[in-house]
Structure 1
């Protein structure tokens, strides 16, 4: 091996170089350029660090593979260092990636010609126990006649000789090959420019290929071929784009065969490309991006239709009515809560005063008191005339009566008595009830729990809510406070904070 020859073949140029090998285009000795591609070969030389086992595995896979749609080995030779080199037939007229780049769109028949033989070849390889390990637009090549074939053995592996049908669909290596092929097939199908009646079938096929659960089916290859040929008949693959011919064919003709309109010039663009004056390469890339977006939208729409198909229309109608009713109820509740928060109700006013005046207080003993049965009679308004003790009118007088009734309740350890001092759902009632229950359990009543109405002063009044503050006893830094709220039954204790 020297710079000009490898294993008796004259080198032409390097075709590719990777971390493990280098591929070189060569011509057999004794053949000239007049022989065309007949004398061309492709030699794969491996790097010294590549294990011999890996090389032999690749040779075995390529040797066992047979068919017109896989790259076959022409010969084996040895490099000067004794390492084997693989000699392949040269028949590549470009890769699938190059075809997708050069062609802005594909016909349905061309797509069938590309994908159908590859499905069969992949199935035959798997039947021989060979997994390619790499299926992509770069590993699919075309010969001069436009026939596709797999041309990469660097990642191939042999699992077992003629695996069983169960192993064919359960083996991870075979499943990965099918997943990669499905991805390639979706990309090819997305490049189709078809009539409107064919678009639905193409979208359904793409959705079926995208379903990973179908890959494990025992009839995946058969179903794939059936769905593919349902689109139409195969057509020869046009490997090079011919925009002038296609542009001329797109214009309607007169009866004498001449075009009804003169075609645009060779360098002119059409439709929106002419308006935007985009370069040809940019226009092709943008068209491809828009086409892919449209196909993805078709897939989503098709999947949504398939998901909704089993449900009857009446069920959807009832569900829509239920959702509308829930939305209306939520809106009414939200509006009601907003109106309630904006009105100066007794509860809101009481809580506002409690937050402003008692924010520095502890969360300890707070509560309301309710008057007993005997005291309640004193607080009720006489229907015949003036209210007793002015309880319904003057909060200061009402405070004295309420505190007196509360003291009686605490002295008698009667929770029922508290019902007329404070409402049963108020913090004051809860605190006083807890204090009485603690005394009944053996504890002592705190002296700080008693309030002296004579030392109370009004610190704030808002509507029917009055906040009182009491003199600070000795040894306390914060005075006691009490919130009085007027309701339908008159003044009641809402909450309080003991001195601390």
Structure 2
């Protein structure tokens, strides 16, 4: 653990989050009265320093509306620390968890600027890489993206052929799809049918069309209505400090839906945090910054039998399971409860856990819950979302059913296992791919539907 080198006018209040290679601190900048809160994002070792350098370059390239601002770059032991603004407002994940329904204009007021920011970043050659509801702060000026510690950089104005090869771009697009579908599905009132139709279209679109269609669709849906967040109660110094978020960092190119062990405060950065010096530092910081220089595997299912081919892809996300939607405290999004990842050496047990959790998602009518079952961007996720949206609209949520209790292993293929389930007359073939992180369903090719 390294110690931050004190800077005049910057006072550390308390830690906000901590990971093996980085940490974030809540700080106060300037003298009292008039001191402002900020976040000090520190690196604790060489790997953390590399993450911070990428974050700084990403924030420099992407600076503008809808992106957290770098106030200054401060000397520190392992690497320069980033002094970032601390957007005031609730996270989108908090609001999703609290809201039972939305006005169409409110959804437009959130989605339009948010998607426009993602498009702007991609045009500038920046992919956030860990986009999600818990990394969007709803301020009075609009949604602000935070936590760029897992960003990826590529050529500005790159053609689609280049963007399609950037993993973080794909994750951003999947996240936009998930957020848009979730919010649109909750629209009530006269525009609910139009919102549901837009959600159904977005759920099945190719990834590279999602942002463009989302922007066009929400602009046609309704006039934007500002979503005024509830006043944020300042807890910078008064009262006992809340629990510190303990995080596990993955590689910069990996999804950054981090496993949050404990958190009582919705903070704009994870892992982020360094100190704020005040408004007079913004011009100097900006001046300094200006000088800084997926293939689908074809399943051959014997006998030509009509079967359900279920690719259960185990996504490697070290320490970064999909607990954004289920972590304790205000980081929860719309998924009703937290569920452990199906990490097991037994493929039949993993299949049983996934199928059981999938049924629970449909019982709870939770779209975000499906992210814990199906792989992002997969045909399985698109089909399940479409079925759940139909269920929400009062129709029959038709979906493929698999009886995991009858599953048997047919063949082992390295890290994958071919499993067969169901009656002998109409079995379903399932391909499970295993890693240390857990399991995900990737594709439903055919099978027996249930309504």
State the TM-score, normalized to the length of structure 2: 0.50
Query: Which structure shows the higher helix fraction?
Result: 1
Larger relative contact order, structure 1 or 2 (CA cutoff 8 Å, min sep 6) = 2
